[in-house]
C-alpha cells in the first residue's frame, strides 16, 4: 500500500525533524544498553531522558525492523515455539516525557482498545481503522495513559488532528520509559486491542509485509533523521 503522497497530521502535535528529534539506537549493537540493568525501569528511564537532555531534543525515534535485545527484560516476548525472545521491532517508537499528547494522523474509527497489563507489555492501547486508497488499514498506539481509555467507544470517529491520548508513565504503560509505539497493520486478523509489536527473526518477512514501515505516517524521511 503506497501512502507516500498523503499528508498526515503530526502525531506529537509538531513535525518531527532534526531540530527537535534524534534517532535513538535501541539495537543489539548499542554498547551502552548492554551496560544497563534493563529490569530496572528507573535506570532505563534515566538513560532515555539523559539522551534527550544531552542532545537538547524533545523526541527520540526508535527504528522500524530494528533488531533489539531489550525485549529480554520481559517474558511477554518469549517465543514459546523455540524458547527464544522475539527481537524484531515492527513499529516506530517516539520517546518523550510522560503525558505528552498524541494526535490522530488521519481520520479513522476506533476498532478496539484495552489495557494490556503486565511488565513489558503495551499498557493502554488503541487501534484505529482507516480506509485509505481503497484499502482498509489499521494504526496502533501503544503505551498510552490509562485515563485515555475512559471515554472511548468502539466505532467512534477520531478526526485527523484530534487528540487520541497521552504517553503513559512507566507505572501504567508496561514498565517502559515513556514513549509511543506506533504501528501500521494491514490485516489485523482476530486481534482486538492488541497486536504483536515485535516478532522473531524467522518471521520477519511475513510480519514486515503485514506491518509496513510507518515512517511516512510520522513525516519521517531518510534525508532528515530516519
pLDDT surpasses 70 at 14:
yes
* pTM for the model: 0.92
Quote the domain boundaries for residue 145: 21-218
What is the chain's mean pLDDT, rounded?
90
Structural domain includes residue 133 = yes
Structural domain includes residue 143 = yes
- Confidence class for position 85, pLDDT limits 50, 70, 90: confident
The CA distance from 109 to 154, in Å, is: 8
Query: What is the pLDDT at residue 1?
Result: 41
Structural domain includes residue 5 = no
More confident: 6 or 48: 48
Query: What is the pLDDT at residue 98?
Result: 97
Mean pLDDT of 128-141: 95
CB 129 within 8 A of CB 138: yes
pLDDT surpasses 60 at 2:
no
Q: Secondary structure of the chain in the HEC alphabet?
A: CCCCCCCCCCCCCCCCCCCCEEECCCCCCCHHHHCCCCCCHHHHHHHHHHHHHHHCCCEEEECCCCECCHHHHCHHHEECCCCEECCEECCEEEECCCCCEEECCCCEEEEEEEEECCCCCCEEEEEEEEEECCEEEEEEEECECHHHHCCCCCCCEECCCCEEEEECCCCCCCCCCCEEEEEEECCCCCCCCCCCCEECHHHHHHHHHHCCCCHHHHCCCCCCCC
C-alpha cell at 162: 484530534
- Confidence class for position 189, pLDDT limits 50, 70, 90: very high
Structural domain includes residue 38 = yes
Structural domain includes residue 3 = no
Structural domain includes residue 193 = yes
The CA distance from 59 to 63, in Å, is: 13
Q: Tell me which of 20-24, 100-104, 178-182, 222-226 is least confident.
A: 222-226
Structural domain includes residue 76 = yes
pLDDT over 90 for what percent of the chain?
A: 77
- Confidence class for position 63, pLDDT limits 50, 70, 90: very high
Domain count, the chain: 1
Mean pLDDT of 45-59: 96
Instruction: Report the candidate in 54, 59, 58, 68 with the shortest Cα–Cα distance to residue 25.
Output: 68
Q: What is the CATH number of the domain that holds 167?
A: 2.70.70.10
**Cα 87–210–145 angle (5° rounding)?**
65
Amino acid at each position: 500500500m503506497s501512502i507516500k503522497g498523503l499528508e498526515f497530521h503530526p502525531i506529537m502535535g509538531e513535525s518531527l525533524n532534526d531540530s527537535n528529534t534524534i534517532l535513538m539506537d535501541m539495537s543489539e549493537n548499542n554498547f551502552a544498553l548492554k551496560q544497563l540493568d534493563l529490569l530496572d525501569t528507573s535506570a532505563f528511564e534515566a538513560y532515555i531522558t539523559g539522551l534527550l537532555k544531552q542532545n537538547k531534543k524533545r523526541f527520540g525515534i526508535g527504528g522500524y525492523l530494528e533488531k533489539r535485545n531489550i525485549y529480554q527484560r520481559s517474558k511477554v516476548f518469549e517465543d514459546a515455539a523455540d524458547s527464544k525472545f522475539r527481537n524484531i521491532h515492527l513499529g516506530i517508537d517516539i520517546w518523550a516525557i510522560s503525558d505528552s499528547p498524541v494526535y490522530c494522523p488521519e481520520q479513522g474509527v476506533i476498532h478496539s482498545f484495552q489495557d494490556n497489563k503486565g511488565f513489558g507489555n503495551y499498557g493502554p492501547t488503541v487501534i484505529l481503522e482507516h480506509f485509505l486508497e481503497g484499502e482498509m488499514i489499521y494504526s496502533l498506539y501503544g503505551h498510552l495513559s490509562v485515563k485515555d481509555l475512559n471515554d472511548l467507544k468502539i466505532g467512534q470517529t477520531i478526526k485527523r488532528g484530534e487528540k487520541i491520548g497521552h504517553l503513559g508513565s512507566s507505572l501504567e504503560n508496561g514498565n517502559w520509559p515513556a514513549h509511543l509505539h506506533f504501528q501500521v497493520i494491514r490485516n489485523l486478523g482476530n486481534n482486538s486491542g492488541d497486536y504483536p509489536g515485535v516478532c522473531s527473526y524467522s518471521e520477519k518477512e511475513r510480519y514486515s509485509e503485514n506491518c509496513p514501515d510507518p515512517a511516512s505516517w510520522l513525516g519521517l524521511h531518510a534525508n532528515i533523521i530516519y
